[in-house]
């Protein structure tokens, strides 16, 4: 396993007043690390020390004790900042600059040459739906637009480590969805992402591992599956069943186990899904003066900025090398991008196989061990070894095919995906509700 | 729509390379043609008739038989003839310089350079239209009877704004490169123009400069008009730009920290030294642009004023009497629009043995008065040493002050040294003096007699509190570059002394000689002003790295005022007493004097440069002074820079303490 990208060892931060007296202990003996190419979540309620931790990682604060290392160097090392992109909790921009000037400024700080700057700025503005508003001063932007330009400046240098502090704050559900997709895609393409948020549903969809903070201390650490999956229950989805059928199933369960059916409910579409659906239909009819819906992910973020010989080399590589699907993770090595695409393709084929595995592929979607929500964007996916069929080596499809299949899945243009989406939303709970259910998550 | 499309077409034309090349050729050609035409016009003018000395007026008197008296009379006549010839020489040089076109060429060069900048920024047609509109406005103002001054002010206003805008565009292009320093400097430039607070200063300066000619009184002597304009325009511009530099520097750095905008800069690969340097470069660039604009306007209008008729002239350089130059014109050319080196008299050489004896007596007297005759030997020794130091300083100061006072009917000799260059140039020198009396009564008339060693005495009626000048031949300077001047409080010819004692202020007596031209001196003064602004910018930036906006502003302003006032403080300290008449130490005065001494010492270099007053008084700011001052000020700026970088690196930017 490669060395961690970010290492925090027994990090503490105590804020002092003017007279050097201790005022507040924001972070207390925090230890965690972030591995390369993973999306890492930093969760916690307000005041739990998330932002303080991030600021110490970035050198904006000095730890009172402990050690922090980024890429093996201290946070104050200027050279490592070339590989970092940072989006603070609020977008602190120069109000007198317009969007293009803002990105131009930050691009120059990274010493990007003119062509690269222009290309990336155009792509980022398009990706974030700011092309029409690029010449307006940033101070005239809505909060959501300011957030988008903040994201753009965090991505301008194609960072290896992307640190996002509450990235979806101020964004509508469409924008939130886009950001989550972006994070997942960045992770798939070998970026390391540190995501801090208290919007748990947003984090759950994106991260590989997470740490939960409270009072500046680590309370839990692990993958979503490790932390969230309930091993003591099984959830089954089916078409509408009458009471008699339900009773029969209950009797069957009781005959085989000590318990019976604990809950029967009708699934319902989430408000987020309804919202997205309505907006997607409306956007083709009305042109707004604000931010528009975003475009495709910028090519440089997908590692598509290849020219000439490099392009030929990649194409040759794709056609010659067999790709091994690694269920547990992502293949390492110099062809990381290609192999990552292959892994994604393998994941999609698993999803397809699962959907087709029942007697009625359009009506049944059975999960076991973990919730599989085919309608929502997910990470590369870790299937349970007990339920998933073995994967055959496949030749990696093109990146475009992967994107199209994902997008198709998200937009519900396949029958199986449509049913899968309606099925999984029966038990879906929103973030705050989940927190309330658990009873331990504060605000 | 049609207008918009026409404007768009015109914009495309002025952005095209072909247009830029053609416009450049036209601008250069026009500038050269105008300079040549002006030169031809000047040369076609009838050369002013040279002023000559009528030898018949200085013929030797008939011998009286007294050889000594005859010899003395002949010497007096020779001296008077020499003085007349010196005056004629100065006048002839001035009349010759009127034929020179250097000032016009420089002005035309500056305007041409700005025009080229505008053309290559793709704004050629825009600015041409702007100037045509302003010219139309000026013409209309003349038509409606508002006078040509209002017209000139309107054109000047538009020209200043246009020049500033073009320069800022040029600077943005100059800082268009990649890298943190360039990016931050460019961003600072943009911020300055788009921030309302800086725009206010810029507008004030531009409007003030354009309106200043309107308040000049045309009935005043030309020298006063020129000096007033130079004083108010140069000092006013510098103060406005300095306030802008201080305010903007603090605002730019402190508010970025307060508003957390700096987080997104300092989490990029930007070192602290790059951030501070970038900010400083941006601010000094703005200051440079404003200085260029204001100084260009000041220089051009000063040359315009020079071309106006002086008091007693029918037209410029032509006296109504038809002979020579008027006094007003002479003073303008020899004392105001020139660069003079001044030499002040040496302090009185004390008989140190006698001084020591007097000092000892005073010390013992003080010890007796204070009844300090008992105590341990160490205490007595310490007290004596303290008294000795204070009394010695006080005595020396009193002696030098007394040296500058001339009782009625008495004479005092003043020695000058360092006039070797004046003697070598063999050009007339100027004796310049200002006398004060106890009451400075405006109704009283005074006469003094001045006499250089080896020359005849001159009786001069004087007004108190104003400078008087007397051209003198360089033959009064001896071989070692020295000159002795005797000043008598009274009229030697009538033997009548004045009513009261007269005194020179510390800078009220000097010999000056021309050592350069006004143009070069003007540009050196502007260069020094820019170096000062650079120092102020770094001072403000350094303060704002760790202070809030309000506190940093106060600190910067206080330092600026202390620096500007250091010259006054240093000269006032000479007359500031820390003891009362009985010799008792005044604690408040002592503390004040200590603080003032430190402030004066810290900012001595800054204060001693005095570019504005030198410009107004026509005193040379030599290249050596400029370089020395620049080195020292840049060194201090560098120290402030190092301090700012050190502090900034240690700052926890996510903790703001300045709310």
Distance from CA of A99 to the nearest CA of B (A): 14
Q: Would you call A81 and B653 a contact, using CB atoms and an 8 Å cutoff?
A: no
Q: In chain B, which residues have their Cβ closer than 8 Å to the Cβ of A92? A: 259-261, 263-264
Any idea how long chain A is? 443
The angle that helices B272-306 and B196-211 make with each other, rounded to 10 degrees, is: 20
How many beta-carbon contacts under 8 Å exist across A and B? Answer: 80
ipTM of the complex in this document: 0.77
Average pLDDT value for chain B: 85
Residue of A60, A81, A97 lying closest to B268 (CB–CB) = A81
pLDDT-derived band of residue B44, with 50, 70 and 90 as boundaries?
Answer: confident
- Residue A350 pLDDT > 50: no
What is residue A115's predicted lDDT score, i.e. its pLDDT? 93
Q: Is B1 exposed, middle or buried (0-12, 13-18, 19+ CB in 10 A)?
A: exposed
Distance from CA of A296 to the nearest CA of B (A): 25
Burial B543-579 (b: 16+ CB within 10 A, else e): bbbbbbbeebbebbbebbebbbbbbebbeeeeeeebe
What is residue B587's predicted lDDT score, i.e. its pLDDT? 86
Contact A45, A212 (CB under 8 A): no
What is residue B86's predicted lDDT score, i.e. its pLDDT? 67
Among residues of chain B, what percentage have pLDDT more than 70?
92
What is residue A286's predicted lDDT score, i.e. its pLDDT? 62
pLDDT-derived band of residue B159, with 50, 70 and 90 as boundaries?
Answer: confident
Distance from CA of A368 to the nearest CA of B (A): 44
What is residue B656's predicted lDDT score, i.e. its pLDDT? 66
- Tell me the per-residue pLDDT of B225-243, one tens digit each, with 9 for 90 and over: 999 999 999 999 999 999 9
Residue of A79, A86, A112 lying closest to B267 (CB–CB) = A86
Higher pLDDT, B448 or A370: B448
- Tell me the per-residue pLDDT of A286-332, one tens digit each, with 9 for 90 and over: 665 566 656 777 778 777 655 544 555 555 554 444 433 333 334 33
Q: How many CB atoms lie within 10 A of CB A352?
A: 17
Average pLDDT estimate for A106-118: 94
Q: Would you call B654 and A55 a contact, using CB atoms and an 8 Å cutoff?
A: yes
Distance from CA of B263 to the nearest CA of A (A): 7
Pick from A100-114, A220-234, A246-260, B81-95 the range whose average pLDDT is largest.
A100-114
Fold of B341-349+382-516: Jelly Rolls (2.60.120)
Name the nearest CA neighbour of B317 among B534, B49, B604, B41: B49
- Tell me the per-residue pLDDT of B504-542, one tens digit each, with 9 for 90 and over: 887 889 998 888 889 999 999 999 999 999 999 999 999
Cα B203 → chain centroid:
24
Higher pLDDT, B477 or B319: B477
Higher pLDDT, A127 or A274: A127
Q: In chain A, which residues have their Cβ closer than 8 Å to the Cβ of B182? A: 108
- Residue B254 pLDDT > 90: yes
- Residue B107 pLDDT > 50: yes
pLDDT-derived band of residue A410, with 50, 70 and 90 as boundaries?
Answer: very low
Average pLDDT value for chain A: 71
What is residue A290's predicted lDDT score, i.e. its pLDDT? 61
Higher pLDDT, A2 or B613: B613
Report the half-sphere exposure of B579 (CA within 13 A, side-chain side): 11
Q: How many CB atoms lie within 10 A of CB B387?
A: 20
Average pLDDT estimate for B551-570: 90
- Residue B396 pLDDT > 50: yes
Among residues of chain A, what percentage have pLDDT more than 70?
62
Q: In chain B, which residues have their Cβ closer than 8 Å to the Cβ of A101? A: 190
Report the C-alpha gap between A314 and B376 in whole angstroms: 98
Report the C-alpha gap between B200 and B183 in whole angstroms: 25
Name the nearest CA neighbour of B318 among B591, B48, B35, B639: B48
Q: In chain A, which residues have their Cβ closer than 8 Å to the Cβ of B268? A: 81, 106, 109-110, 157
Query: Helices (H), strands (E): how many in chain B?
Result: 21, 13
pLDDT-derived band of residue A17, with 50, 70 and 90 as boundaries?
Answer: confident
- Residue B266 pLDDT > 50: yes
- Tell me the per-residue pLDDT of A162-195, one tens digit each, with 9 for 90 and over: 999 988 887 888 888 888 888 888 888 888 999 9
- Residue A33 pLDDT > 50: yes
What is residue A266's predicted lDDT score, i.e. its pLDDT? 74
Closest residue in B to A64 (Cα–Cα): B652
Q: Which helix (H) or strand (E) holds B39?
A: helix B17-44
Q: Would you call B190 and A97 a contact, using CB atoms and an 8 Å cutoff?
A: yes
- Residue B564 pLDDT > 80: yes
- Residue B190 pLDDT > 80: yes
Contact B156, B301 (CB under 8 A): yes
Average pLDDT estimate for B343-366: 87
Report the C-alpha gap between B106 and A168 in whole angstroms: 61
Higher pLDDT, B202 or B314: B314
What is residue B387's predicted lDDT score, i.e. its pLDDT? 82
What is residue A171's predicted lDDT score, i.e. its pLDDT? 81
What is residue B257's predicted lDDT score, i.e. its pLDDT? 93
Name the nearest CA neighbour of B368 among B384, B390, B356, B346: B384
Average pLDDT estimate for B103-119: 81
pLDDT-derived band of residue A31, with 50, 70 and 90 as boundaries?
Answer: very high
Kindly write down the DSSP assignment for every residue of A10-60, as one continuous string: EEEEEEE-TTS-EEEEEEEEEEEEE-TT-EEEEE--TTSSHHHHHHHHHTS
- Tell me the per-residue pLDDT of A38-77, one tens digit each, with 9 for 90 and over: 999 988 888 888 889 999 999 999 999 999 999 999 999 9
- Among A61, A87, A109, most B C-beta atoms within 10 A, so best to mutate, is A109
Residue of A18, A62, A92 lying closest to B260 (CB–CB) = A92
Query: Does residue B426 come out as left (phi exceeding 0), alpha (psi in the -120 to 50 range) or beta?
Result: left
Residue of B261, B270, B652 lying closest to A61 (CB–CB) = B652
Name the nearest CA neighbour of B281 among B177, B392, B382, B189: B189
Pick from A228-242, B58-72, B101-115, B283-297 the range whose average pLDDT is largest.
B283-297
Dihedral pair phi/psi, residue A158, rounded to 5° = 50, 65
What is residue B64's predicted lDDT score, i.e. its pLDDT? 77
Burial B28-42 (b: 16+ CB within 10 A, else e): eeebeeebeeeeeee
Pick from A105-114, B3-12, B462-471 the range whose average pLDDT is largest.
A105-114
Q: Would you call A59 and B260 a contact, using CB atoms and an 8 Å cutoff?
A: no
What is residue B43's predicted lDDT score, i.e. its pLDDT? 77
Residue of B194, B259, B263 lying closest to A60 (CB–CB) = B263
Among residues of chain B, what percentage have pLDDT more than 90?
31
What is residue B554's predicted lDDT score, i.e. its pLDDT? 95
H helix runs in B121-221, sequence order:
124-143, 147-174, 180-194, 196-211
Cα B208 to Cα A376, B140, B201, B442, distances in angstroms:
66, 22, 10, 34
What is residue A159's predicted lDDT score, i.e. its pLDDT? 93
Contact A71, A80 (CB under 8 A): yes
Report the half-sphere exposure of A295 (CA within 13 A, side-chain side): 13
Q: Would you call A92 and B190 a contact, using CB atoms and an 8 Å cutoff?
A: no
Average pLDDT estimate for A86-102: 91
- Among B264, B265, B650, B655, most A C-beta atoms within 10 A, so best to mutate, is B264
- Among B265, B654, B655, most A C-beta atoms within 10 A, so best to mutate, is B654
Q: Which helix (H) or strand (E) holds B386?
A: helix B377-403
Higher pLDDT, B519 or B322: B519
Q: What is the CA radius of gyration of chain B?
A: 30
Q: How many CB atoms lie within 10 A of CB A140?
A: 11
Q: Would you call B267 and A60 a contact, using CB atoms and an 8 Å cutoff?
A: yes
Residues 6+ apart with CB under 8 A from A405: A348
Q: In chain A, which residues have their Cβ closer than 8 Å to the Cβ of B181? A: none
Pairing of strands A22-34, A161-165: unpaired
Residues 6+ apart with CB under 8 A from B544: B249, B250, B252, B253, B254, B257, B552, B556
pTM for the full predicted model: 0.75
What is residue B164's predicted lDDT score, i.e. its pLDDT? 83
Pairing of strands B446-452, A6-16: unpaired
pLDDT-derived band of residue A339, with 50, 70 and 90 as boundaries?
Answer: very low
Residues 6+ apart with CB under 8 A from B109: B31
Q: Would you call B268 and A109 a contact, using CB atoms and an 8 Å cutoff?
A: yes
What are the beta bridge partners of residue B619? B340
Average pLDDT estimate for B548-558: 94
> Which tokens in the block code for residue B176?
């268009």
What is residue A275's predicted lDDT score, i.e. its pLDDT? 66
Q: Would you call A106 and B268 a contact, using CB atoms and an 8 Å cutoff?
A: yes
Report the C-alpha gap between B435 and B465 in whole angstroms: 6
Among residues of chain A, what percentage have pLDDT more than 90?
27
* Signed CA dihedral, B571, B574, B576, B578: sign only: positive
Numbered residues of chain A with Cβ closer than 8 Å to any chain B Cβ: 15, 18, 55, 58-62, 78-79, 81-82, 84, 86, 88, 90, 92-94, 96-97, 101, 105-106, 108-114, 150, 153, 157
Coil/strand/helix, residue B572: helix
What is residue B445's predicted lDDT score, i.e. its pLDDT? 76
Numbered residues of chain B with Cβ closer than 8 Å to any chain A Cβ: 177-180, 182-184, 186-187, 190-191, 194-195, 259-261, 263-271, 652-655, 657
């Amino acid at each position: 396993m490669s060395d961690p990208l970010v290492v925090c060892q027994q990090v503490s931060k105590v804020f002092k007043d003017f007279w050097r007296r201790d005022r507040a202990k924001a972070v207390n003996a925090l230890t965690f690390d972030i591995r390369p190419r993973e999306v890492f979540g930093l969760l916690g309620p307000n005041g739990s020390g998330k932002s303080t931790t991030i600021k110490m990682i970035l050198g904006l604060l000095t730890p009172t004790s402990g050690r922090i290392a980024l890429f093996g160097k201290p946070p104050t090392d200027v050279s490592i900042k070339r590989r970092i992109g940072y989006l603070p909790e609020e977008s602190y921009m120069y109000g007198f600059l317009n969007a293009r000037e803002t990105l131009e400024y930050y691009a120059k700080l990274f010493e990007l040459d003119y062509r690269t700057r222009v290309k990336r700025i155009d792509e980022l503005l398009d990706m974030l739906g700011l092309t029409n508003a690029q010449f307006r001063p940033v101070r005239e932007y809505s909060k959501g637009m300011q957030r988008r330009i903040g994201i753009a400046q965090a991505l301008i240098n194609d960072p290896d480590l992307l640190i996002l502090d509450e990235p979806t704050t101020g964004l509508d559900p469409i924008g939130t969805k886009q950001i989550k997709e972006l994070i997942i895609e960045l992770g798939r393409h070998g970026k390391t992402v540190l995501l801090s948020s208290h919007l748990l549903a947003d984090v759950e969809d994106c991260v590989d591992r997470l740490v939960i903070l409270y009072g500046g201390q680590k309370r839990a650490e692990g993958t979503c599956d490790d932390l969230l999956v309930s091993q003591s229950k099984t959830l089954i989805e089916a078409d509408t069943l009458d009471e008699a059928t339900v009773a029969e199933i209950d009797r069957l369960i009781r005959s085989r186990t000590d318990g019976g059916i604990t809950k029967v409910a009708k699934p319902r579409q989430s408000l987020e899904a309804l919202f997205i659906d309505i907006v997607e239909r409306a956007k083709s009819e009305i042109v707004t003066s604000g931010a528009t819906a975003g475009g495709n992910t910028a090519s440089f973020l997908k590692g598509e900025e290849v020219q000439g010989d490099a392009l030929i080399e990649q194409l040759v590589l794709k056609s010659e090398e067999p790709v091994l699907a690694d269920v547990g993770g992502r293949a390492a090595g110099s062809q990381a991008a290609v192999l990552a695409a292959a892994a994604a393709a393998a994941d999609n084929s698993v999803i397809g196989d699962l959907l087709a595995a029942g007697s009625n592929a359009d009506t049944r979607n059975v999960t076991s061990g973990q919730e599989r929500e085919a309608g929502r964007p997910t990470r590369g996916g870790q299937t349970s070894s007990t339920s998933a069929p073995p994967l055959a080596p496949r030749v990696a499809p093109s990146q475009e095919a992967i994107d199209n299949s994902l997008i198709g899945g998200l937009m519900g243009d396949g029958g199986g995906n449509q049913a899968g989406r309606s099925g999984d939303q029966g038990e879906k709970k929103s973030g705050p509700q989940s927190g309330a259910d658990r009873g331990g998550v504060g605000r | 729509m049609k207008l918009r499309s026409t404007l768009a077409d015109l914009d495309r034309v002025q952005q095209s390379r072909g247009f830029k090349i053609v416009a450049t050729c036209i601008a250069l050609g026009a500038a050269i043609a105008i300079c040549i035409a002006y030169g031809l016009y000047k040369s076609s003018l009838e050369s002013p008739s040279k002023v000559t000395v009528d030898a018949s007026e200085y013929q030797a008197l008939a011998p009286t038989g007294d050889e000594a008296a005859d010899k003395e009379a002949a010497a007096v006549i020779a001296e008077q003839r020499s003085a007349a010839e010196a005056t004629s020489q100065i006048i002839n040089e001035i009349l010759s310089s009127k034929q020179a076109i250097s000032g016009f060429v420089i002005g035309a060069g500056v305007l041409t350079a700005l025009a080229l900048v505008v053309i290559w920024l793709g704004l050629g047609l825009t600015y041409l239209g702007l100037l045509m509109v302003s010219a139309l406005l000026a013409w209309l103002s003349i038509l409606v009877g508002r006078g040509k001054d209002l017209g000139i002010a309107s054109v000047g206003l538009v020209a200043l704004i246009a020049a500033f805008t073009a320069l800022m565009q040029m600077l943005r292009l100059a800082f268009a490169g990649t890298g943190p320093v360039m990016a931050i400097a460019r961003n600072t430039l943009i911020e300055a123009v788009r921030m309302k607070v800086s725009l206010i200063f810029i507008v004030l300066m531009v409007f003030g400069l354009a309106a200043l000619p309107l308040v000049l009184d045309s009935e005043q002597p030309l020298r006063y008009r020129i000096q007033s304009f130079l004083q108010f325009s140069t000092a006013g511009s510098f103060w406005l730009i300095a306030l802008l530099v201080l305010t903007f520097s603090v605002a730019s750095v402190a508010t970025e920290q307060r508003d957390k905008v700096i987080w997104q800069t300092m989490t990029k690969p930007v070192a602290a030294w790059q951030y501070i340097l970038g900010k400083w470069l941006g601010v000094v660039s703005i200051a440079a642009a404003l200085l260029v604009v204001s100084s260009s306007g000041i220089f051009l209008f000063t040359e315009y004023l020079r071309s106006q008729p002086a008091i007693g002239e029918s037209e410029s350089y032509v006296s109504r009497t038809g002979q020579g130059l008027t006094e007003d014109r002479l003073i303008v050319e020899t004392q105001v629009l020139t660069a003079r080196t001044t030499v002040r008299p040496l302090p009185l050489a004390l008989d140190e043995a006698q001084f020591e004896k007097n000092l000892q007596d005073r010390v013992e007297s003080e010890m007796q008065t204070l009844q300090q005759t008992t105590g341990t030997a160490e205490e007595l020794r310490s007290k004596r040493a303290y008294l000795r130091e204070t009394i010695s300083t006080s005595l020396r100061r009193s002696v030098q002050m007394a040296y500058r006072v001339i009782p009625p009917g008495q004479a005092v000799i003043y020695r000058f040294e360092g006039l070797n260059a004046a003697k070598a140039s063999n050009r007339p020198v100027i004796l310049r003096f200002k006398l004060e009396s106890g009451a400075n009564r405006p109704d009283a008339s005074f006469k003094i007699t001045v006499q250089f060693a080896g020359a005849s005495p001159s009786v001069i009626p004087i007004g108190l509190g104003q400078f008087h000048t007397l051209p003198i031949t360089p033959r009064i300077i001896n071989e070692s570059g020295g000159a002795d001047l005797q000043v008598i409080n009274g009229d030697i010819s009538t033997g009548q002394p004045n009513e009261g004692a007269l005194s020179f202020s510390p800078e009220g007596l000097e010999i000056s000689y021309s050592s350069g031209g006004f143009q070069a001196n003007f540009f050196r003064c502007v260069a020094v002003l820019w170096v000062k602004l650079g120092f102020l910018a770094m001072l403000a930036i350094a303060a704002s790295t760790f202070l809030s906006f309000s506190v940093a502003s106060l600190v910067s302003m206080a330092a600026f005022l202390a620096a500007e006032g250091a010259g006054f403080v240093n000269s006032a300290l000479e007359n500031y007493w820390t003891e009362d008449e009985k010799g008792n130490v005044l604690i408040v005065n002592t503390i004040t004097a200590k603080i003032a001494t430190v402030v004066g010492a810290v900012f001595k270099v800054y204060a001693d440069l005095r570019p504005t007053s030198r410009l107004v008084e026509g005193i040379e700011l030599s290249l050596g002074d400029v370089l020395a001052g620049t080195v020292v000020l840049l060194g201090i700026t560098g120290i402030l820079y190092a301090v700012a970088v050190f502090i900034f690196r240690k700052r926890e930017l996510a903790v703001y303490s300045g709310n």
